């Protein structure tokens, strides 16, 4: 079974700063996908960024980027130029290959607060 660990229950930074959220995972799979989801107060789960394990290049989406270290089983999320709207719960998630049939395994989440 896979496990996903987010060691930072809560983080707080000033607007415009850069923040990094940590995530580690444990798996015996060689091919898999990793995701970061954002859950704002509206409760909606929003996909922020995804990474395919067989790709060495780190994924980026505008202000969001990841540092994927496959050997270390680490998948951190960096948010640059943070904005008030980035305040949310952030969940790291793992998916085995197989088209996602077996669902996502989520970490416990990090509550990120962006201060004005």
Partner 1 sequence: DSGVTQTPKHLITATGQRVTLRCSPRSGDLSVYWYQQSLDQGLQFLIHYYNGEERAKGNILERFSAQQFPDLHSELNLSSLELGDSALYFCASSPIGRGGYGYTFGSGTRLTVV
Binding segment for partner 1 among 9-17, 37-45, 62-70, 74-82 (CB under 8 A)? 37-45
Beta bridge partners of 52: 33
| Residue 57 within binding range of partner 1, rule CB under 8 A | no
Write b or e for each residue in 20-54: b if 16 or more Cβ atoms lie within 10 A of its Cβ, otherwise e: ebbbbbeeeeeebbbbbbbeeeeeeeeebbebebe
Choice from 105, 110, 112, 114 touching partner 1 (CB under 8 A): 105
Q: What is d(CA 82, CA 69) in angstroms, rounded to the nearest whole number?
A: 23
Distance of closest approach, residue 55 Cβ to partner 1, in angstroms: 11
Binding site for partner 1 (CB under 8 A): 33, 35, 42-47, 50, 52, 91, 95, 97, 99-109
């Amino acid at each position: 079974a896979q496990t996903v660990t987010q060691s930072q229950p809560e983080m707080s930074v000033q607007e415009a700063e850069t923040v990094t959220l940590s995530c580690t995972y444990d798996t015996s799979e060689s091919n898999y996908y990793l995701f970061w989801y954002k859950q704002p107060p509206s409760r909606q789960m929003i996909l922020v960024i995804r990474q395919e394990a067989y790709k060495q290049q780190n994924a980026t989406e505008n202000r969001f980027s990841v540092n994927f270290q496959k050997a270390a089983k680490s998948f951190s999320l960096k948010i640059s130029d943070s904005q008030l709207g980035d305040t949310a719960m952030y969940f790291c998630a793992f998916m085995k290959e197989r088209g996602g049939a077996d669902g996502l395994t989520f970490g416990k989440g990090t509550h990120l607060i962006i201060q004005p």
